[in-house]
Homo-oligomer: A and B are copies of this chain.
Amino acid sequence: MNKVTIQSPATVANLVCGFDILGMALDQPYDIMEVRKLDKPGVIITSLDGFPLPADPAKNTAGAPLIEMLAELDQPIGFEVIINKQIKPGSGIGSSAASAAGAVVAANHLLGNPFSKEDMVRFALFGEKVASGVKHADNIAPCIYGGITLIRSIFPLDIVSIPAPRLYVTVVHPQIEVRTSDARQILRKQVLLKDAIRQWGNIAGLVAGFVKNDYDLIGRSLEDVIIEPVRSMLIPGFDEVKAKCKEAGALGGGISGSGPSIFMLSKDLATAQQVETTMKAIYTRIGLDHHTYVTTINQQGVKIIEHAIL
Contact = CB atoms under 8 A, between A and B. Distances in A.
B162 A201 contact: no
A40 interface: no
One complex includes copies of this chain to the number of 2
Contacts of A205: 150, 152, 158, 160
A209 to B, nearest CB: 8
A125 interface: no
A265 interface: no
A187 interface: yes
A20 B206 CA distance: 17
13 contacts: A20-B197, A20-B201, A152-B202, A152-B204, A153-B198, A153-B202, A153-B220, A189-B194, A191-B191, A200-B200, A203-B203, A203-B204, A211-B211
Contact of A150 (B158, B192, B208): B208
A251 B188 CA distance: 34
A145 to B, nearest CB: 14
A130 B72 CA distance: 61
Contacts of A162: 208
B202 A204 contact: no
A21 B160 contact: no
A215 interface: no
A191 B193 contact: yes
Interface string A224-236: 0010000000000
